[in-house]
Structure 1
Amino acid sequence: MEMRDFRGVRATVLGLGGFGGGVAATRFLATRGARVTVTDMKLKSDLSSSLQQLEGLPIERLVLGSNPVDVLDECQLLVVNPAVNPSHPTLVKARSLGLQVTTEIDLFLQHQRGRIAAVTGSNGKSTTTALLYRFLQAGWNGGRVWLGGNIGISLLEQVDQIEPVDWVVLELSSFQLELLRERRFRPEIGVLTNFSPNHLDWHGTLESYRRAKQQLFAAQRTDDISILPEELECDEQWRVRGRRHVAGCADGGGDGAFFFESQLILRTDHGRREDCVRVEPSSRLPGQHNQRNVAMAACAAWLAGADPECFAEVLKEFRPLPHRLQCVAQGQGLQFWNDSIATTPESAVAAIRHFSGRAIVLAGGYDKGQDLSELSAVIAEHAVGVVLLGQTAGLLKKQIEGQNERGIPLVMAGNFREAFDKAVALRDCGSVVLLSPGCASYDWFRDFRQRGEDFERMAREWSAAE
């Protein structure tokens, strides 16, 4: 049962976090009269930014550094941070007690009135989401366009401003989709950028991870739009009810968006409607994987009503999101590229191939249980040197050594400062130092942002010292 009136409701927020959703849910509930308890395993010093945003709010209880069982005493509504594992004892107990369990994105969907275009995928979803938002802003004038979700923006506090004609562009993670399973979430436009093993430490199995992603399409109707990557066009595991479109770099003749040289081809209604616009490659969005992101976003925006003639201009002005294959410094004969968002082997593979024969790669990190064999093979084939980091360093070293026919330098580091210094010490081997770890950051860092920020700082300091 959905709650509309929160006055006097005892609500517990499990996981304040530092990414915005926990703060937004807390503010939303407290300003609507709920009696809010907030709990997080992190300490006050780790949550200072989030806590500042709660100042002045009537929070009844704040518990940091632990999740005591009594946070559920008299609780009527549990709001779960998407990063909280389904097996978390507090969440398990809440379900056994029959408590209503929700999330920040679920609260938003309960109260928003706009039209939803949602993006998910193992890689590229933030860039695709941001591009879709910009394409709609520039090329559609039927209402306002809103951006939110896993991209780091909560729309809860603006939810009452969203009108039925507006487009709401959401990035959704597998965690968020899994927790929306019971809601039967239905976006008018659903976009899957790609699919490869990820977050198996959270989902448990590849099949469970796939089912979470498939929630994007599960409740769609036959008049909704489903956009899939070209490699899944004929995959029986990805059947959809909506009008199926495919986006990518090769035109297979069906509906969707495709590149042919510098032309972006847009097609729908079984080929009865087609547009073609000239789109020059952007140096700010290098690599074939970014070309696919552009095709995905353009397909969704066009089908939502945007004029494709504006797409080329948007791409000229588009600034990549932080930590996504950005050149952040150059000096002393080296360019430094920050791709810290590459927390999966597939995303790192794309970046390393783009810089084939030029890159000294910083790779490795937290072990999420992923298969790293392709990453190791691509490093051995395309990198000119590699510095290995974190928990997966030993495994990567063993795999690369078994196929290092070119004899590229292969070194390990005990901390990130050492890793950076060892990478620049290899500058005679190549012209690019590429941070594209292919693994999560949690063993050495708070998150991928901190890892990327540390890399940028070191790169700028080193470059300025020439």
Structure 2
Amino acid sequence: MNIFPEFKNKKIVIWGFGIHGNGPAAVKFFSQNSANILVTDLKTKAELTDSLNGIKDIPNVEYVLGEHRESDFINADMVFRSPAIPKEVPLFKFIKDYEIEIQMAEGFFLKYSKTKNVIGVTGTKGKTTTSTLLTEVIRDQGLNVYQAGTPGNSAMDLVTKVTPTDWVVLEISSWDCEGLDENKVSPHVGIITNISHDHLNRYASYKDYAMSKVSIFKYQNLDDFFVTIKDGEFTKDFLDISKSKNILIDTNSQEYDFSSAHLKGEHNVRNMALCFEVAKVLGFDLQKTKKAILNFRGVPYRQEELGEINGVLFVNDSAATAPVAAISGIKTYLDKSPVVILGGADKKLDYSGLVNYVLETKVDYLLLKGTATDIYVNLGLDASKVYDDFETAIRCAFNIAKNKNGVVLLSPGTASFGMFKNEFDRGDKFNLIFNELKNEN
């Protein structure tokens, strides 16, 4: 295990403990390195029960839950910030005014990791599929590889673990990219899968959101690689900043024949092509790479085919939290008579394209109650198809799909807050109801 004596007896404030794993992983890391730790979160102890259970045996941790107090930060040597906390909150400026170091998981990992064999993946959609597939590609080369940046897989868990020869694939959100800027670090290979409208409730403009991704390659040098799509809306802006080797993907190239792959859809052709190009520039065995790509079956919550009930296929695409992702899901199954479950919480996005696509294709749909669903209805979808009970909506979709051996497709195109904790909770509940229906039939 790698030990970092520079943290011994230092006061570390974990600002935003959260429910996705970075908070507990940070507590474990700094505890192993003999730091003095204070955890603070606006959520209560009851709301954080699952996360807190993961560190219940770690002694000498102070907790301030249900509030953030300025006094807890004044004497801190470092603040470890959750990506869920925007830089615009007043407390961020307060911490900066005291010249206290602020770190985030992925940026911290890149600064302190013993390996430089790191591939970072960001973008609006396709991050998890691409990073998971890349992990499989690297593993099939006979190399030791870790994946981090997804819920439950914090990069902080790897800081003490990785060796100089290990490979690491990091999924990095736009919020996590802010942590790279803090340290002026980028991974050896930086990938931007695509850019589309998302998270505009947190950014001043669409371009601000797009440019929040540039730290994935901004601090690279000529020995590093920046990989993205050739025809991306912001590709030229990215290339104006890049100082590394630029690899541009043309998904129309005949080189990318993935017709026999398990992954379907135009968006997945892009994801597979990105992985193939990374393998090429890293000098991997391309025959093994192609085999890994074709054999890959995808990841949970992303057009995940759960199985059939009475001839009806159930597809869990709960991670489709933006309109463009829902359109991709519908396109994939359009020739299989889908009944699409749409709707949820608004993220200040433009939903007109999705609504128009639903109306033009005349797909069957049901709507889940939420602030974005109100917008769907105002744009022309049928208010009588709104459900405030998830199970009832799924059962209704099943009954419609049974009449045509169709598909029940959960691809909401919105955030999940309100009815669910997050998109993963929404996906888990969909799986649970699918299993109940399977047992009944």
> TM (normalized to structure 2)?
0.91
Code of the aligned partner of 2:279: A
Q: Which runs of 5+ in 2 are unaligned?
A: none
Counterpart secondary structure, 1:201: coil
Distance in structure 1 (CA, Å) of the matches to 2:192 and 2:202: 20
Partner of residue 243, structure 2? 241
Q: Pairwise mapping of residues 410-421 of structure 1 onto structure 2 (< 5 A)? A: 411-421=385-395
Query: Relative to 1, partners in 2 of residues 1:4 and 1:383: Cα closer, same or farther, differing over 3 Å?
Result: farther
Query: Is the partner of 2:334 in helix, strand or coil?
Result: coil
What amino acid maps onto 1:391 in structure 2?
T
Is this contact kept in 2: 1:329–1:460, CA < 8 A?
A: no
Q: Distance in 1 between matches of 2:362 and 2:19?
A: 35
Over 3 Å counting, the alpha-carbon distance change for 1:301 and 1:87 in structure 2 is: same
Aligned to 1:176: 176
What is the identity, as a one-letter code, of the residue corresponding to 1:372?
Y
Displacement of 1:233 after TM fit? Answer: 8.3
Shift of 1:280: 4.8
Equivalent residues, number: 432
2:199 match: 199
- How many angstroms apart in 2 are the aligned matches of 1:234 and 1:40? 36
1 CA distance for matches of 2:5 and 2:202? 31
- Cα 1:23–1:248 change in 2 (3 A) is farther
Deviations 1:338-395 (A, max 9, x none): 0001111111111111111511111111111111111111211235211112211121
Does residue 393 (structure 1) correspond to residue 370 (structure 2)? The answer is no
Secondary structure of the corresponding residue to residue 200 of structure 1:
coil
- TM-score relative to the length of structure 1: 0.87
Alpha-carbon offset, residue 415 of structure 1: 3.0
| Distance in 2 separating the partners of 1:234 and 1:384 | 32
AA matched with 1:146? Y
CA offset digits 1:63-119 (Å, max 9, x no partner): 222223332242221110111111233323212222111112222222112122111
Contact 1:37 1:59 in 2 (8 A): no
Matches within 5 A, 1:112-131: 112-114=113-115, 115-131=117-133
Instruction: Look up the SS of the partner of 2:7 in the other structure.
Output: coil
State whether structure 2 residue 307 is matched by structure 1 residue 329.
Answer: yes
Contact 1:126 1:171 in 2 (8 A): yes
**Structure-2 residue corresponding to 1:339:** 317
Change in 2 beyond 3 A, CA 1:213/1:410: farther
Structure 1 residue 454: Cα displacement = 0.8
Amino acid at match of 1:343: T
Q: Equivalent residue for 2:353?
A: 374
> What residue is the counterpart of 1:85 in the other structure?
86
List per-residue Cα deviations over 1:19-62 (Å, max 9, x = no partner).
Answer: 11111111111221111010112222332221122122123311
- Compute the displacement of 1:167 (Å): 2.3
* Counterpart-to-counterpart distance in 1, 2:53 and 2:200: 33
Contact 1:360 1:423 (8 Å CA) reproduced: yes
2:331 to 330, 335, 353: 353
Structure 1 residues 52 and 152 mapped into 2: Cα distance closer, same or farther (>3 Å)? closer
Q: CA RMSD in A?
A: 2.2
| Cα pair 1:388 1:397 within 8 Å, conserved | no
For 1:268, the equivalent position in structure 2 comes to none
Counterpart secondary structure, 1:232: coil
Letter in 1 for 2:139: Q
Code of the aligned partner of 2:331: R
Q: For 1:249, what is the secondary structure of its paired residue?
A: coil
Q: Does the 8 Å contact 1:353/1:378 carry over to 2?
A: no
Alpha-carbon distance between aligned partners in 1 of 2:157 and 2:394, rounded to the nearest angstrom: 41
Decide whether aligned partners of structure 1 residues 98 and 351 sit closer, same or farther in structure 2, where only a CA change above 3 A counts. Answer: same
Q: Distance in 1 between matches of 2:367 and 2:426?
A: 14
Residues 1:234 and 1:37: Cα distance change in structure 2 (over 3 Å): closer
Could you tell me how far apart the structure 2 residues matched to 1:132 and 1:154 are? 17
After superposition, residues 168-317 of structure 1 pair within 5 angstroms as 168-232=168-232, 235-239=235-239, 240-251=242-253, 260=254, 264=256, 279-283=258-262, 285-317=263-295
Residue 4 to residue 296, structure 1, CA distance change in 2 (3 Å): farther
Listed as ranges, the matches of 1:47-66 within 5 Å are 47-66=48-67
Could you say which residue in structure 1 is the equivalent of 2:138?
136
Query: Are the equivalent residues in 2 in contact too, given 1:14–1:38 (CA < 8 A)?
Result: yes
Task: Provide closer, same or farther for how the CA distance between residues 330 and 12 of structure 1 changes in structure 2, counting only shifts above 3 A.
Answer: same
Map 1:142-157 → 2, pairs under 5 A = 144-150=144-150, 152-157=152-157
Distance 1:452 1:7, change over 3 A: same
Identify unmatched segments of 5+ residues in structure 1. Answer: 252-259, 265-277, 402-407
Whether the 8 Å CA contact 1:329–1:456 is kept in 2: the answer is: no
What's the CA shift for 1:241?
A: 2.3
Quote the Cα distance in structure 1 between the aligned partners of 2:366 and 2:67: 36
Q: Deviations over 1:394-417 (max 9, x none)?
A: 21123234xxxxxx9961112323
SS for the counterpart of 2:63 is strand
2: CA distance, partners of 1:191 / 1:446: 29
Cα-to-partner distance string for 1:292-317 (whole Å, 9 max, x where unaligned): 11111121122222211112432354
Other-structure match for 1:32: 33
User: Quick one: distance in 2 between partners of 1:383 and 1:454?
Assistant: 27
Distance 1:248 1:339 in 2: 26
Distance in 2, matches of 1:370 and 1:398, equals 14
Secondary structure at the aligned position of 1:323 is classed as: coil
What is the one-letter code of the residue matched to 2:342? A
Contact 1:232 1:238 in 2 (8 A): no
User: Does structure 1 conserve the Cα–Cα contact (< 8 Å) formed by 2:377 and 2:383?
Assistant: no
Amino acid at match of 2:219: A
Q: Secondary structure at the match of 2:392?
A: helix
Equivalent position amino acid for 2:344 in 1? G
Q: In the TM superposition, what is the alpha-carbon distance from 1:234 to its structure 2 partner?
A: 8.5
Distance in 2 (alpha carbons) for counterparts of 1:329 and 1:44: 38
Q: Is this contact kept in 2: 1:150–1:171, CA < 8 A?
A: yes
| Matched position secondary structure for 1:57 | coil
2:346–2:371 Cα contact (<8 Å) kept:
yes
